Amino acid sequence: MSKIKQKFSELEAKNEKALISYIMVGFPNERATLSAVKGLVKGGVDIIELGFPFSDPMADGPVIQHASTISLEKGTKINNFFNLVKKIRKITDTPLVLMTYTNILYSRGYPKFISEAKKAGIDGFILPDMSIEESEEYLKAAKGKTDTIFLISPNTSKKRINEIANVTSGFLYLVAVYGTTGVKAGIKNYTLKAIKEVKKQTRGKIPVGVGFGVSTPADVKKYISVGADAVIVG
């Protein structure tokens, strides 16, 4: 059982849901990242999502884009990142998910990157620009090593949800709002409806996490109240 799956099982046994927190590594520096991780662990976060900077982060809003730019300017590289993850692993055994873009892995080679990431302490990947049609080579390399968390949106068809859920592990990531990450104006009814429908469709086979535009504790409570198994905040 993967560390992420084990975490959800532990929470389910206690009738609890998961709080997943996102931070951009290397922003504004490595020391700050380690300090943030310590704070998240102390605060009781269940899973930590580590963003690795990319020059064209299409899924991210202006705040995370800015953090990504600063991190790159400060010299964040893959090897630095793996060393940082090893340091984080000395602090906590909290599941760690790497969110970045496909080219970061592809340029190093999927098997090599995934093996190095796993060895450092990464438990799963979120690659927002990777479609399931393009994922065969990646999934082959990740099988048995790390979880792969694919994204769906409120307007994803039922057929497509089934296809994505069949190759997703760890949890299914439901994007709460259309557009990029960041603060949005209130909870949308279409999101609440989507959570209910996705939960019904997946029938408990995989946890459903909701992220993008989660701005307040009230947002978290509302998403949980309609069936979300996890909420992602960053």
CATH number of the domain that 228 lies in?
3.20.20.70
**Is 49 noted as a catalytic residue in this protein?**
yes
CA distance 211 to 230: 9
Over range 19-25, report the average pLDDT: 95
Q: In a 3-state reduction of DSSP, which class is residue 51?
A: strand
Name the token pair of 104: 């970061």
> How many structural domains comprise the chain?
1
What is the span of the domain harbouring residue 225? 3-233
Cβ(234)–Cβ(47) under 8 Å? no
Contact 110, 56 (CB under 8 A): no
**The pLDDT of residue 82:** 97
The span from the CA of 79 to the CA of 216, in Å, is: 35
Check 49, 147, 219, 229 and give the catalytic one: 49
Rounded average pLDDT over 94-111: 96
At residue 53 the predicted structure's pLDDT band, cuts being 50, 70 and 90, is confident
- Cis omega (within 30 of 0) for bond into 217: no
pLDDT of 132 > 70? The answer is yes
Task: For residues 117-145, give the mean pLDDT.
Answer: 97
Catalytic residue (one of 30, 60, 123, 219) = 60
In angstroms, the CA 57 to CA 158 distance is 27
| Selected residue with higher pLDDT from 9 and 182 | 9
Alpha-helical regions (H) of 92-181: 102-106, 110-120, 136-142, 158-167
Q: What are the DSSP E strand ranges found in the chain?
A: 18-24, 47-51, 96-99, 124-126, 147-148, 151-152, 172-175, 208-211, 230-233
What pLDDT does residue 56 have?
A: 64
Q: What is the mean pLDDT of the chain?
A: 91
Q: How far is CA 5 from the centre of its chain?
A: 14
Tokens for 62, please give them: 């202006």
pLDDT, tens digit (0-9, with 9 covering 90-100), for 179-213? 555 555 578 899 999 999 999 999 999 999 999 88
Residue 138's pLDDT band (cuts 50, 70, 90): very high
208-211 sheet: strands from edge to edge = 147-148, 124-126, 96-99, 47-51, 18-24, 230-233, 208-211, 172-175, 151-152
Lowest mean pLDDT among 26-40, 141-155, 181-195: 181-195
Active site residue 133: no
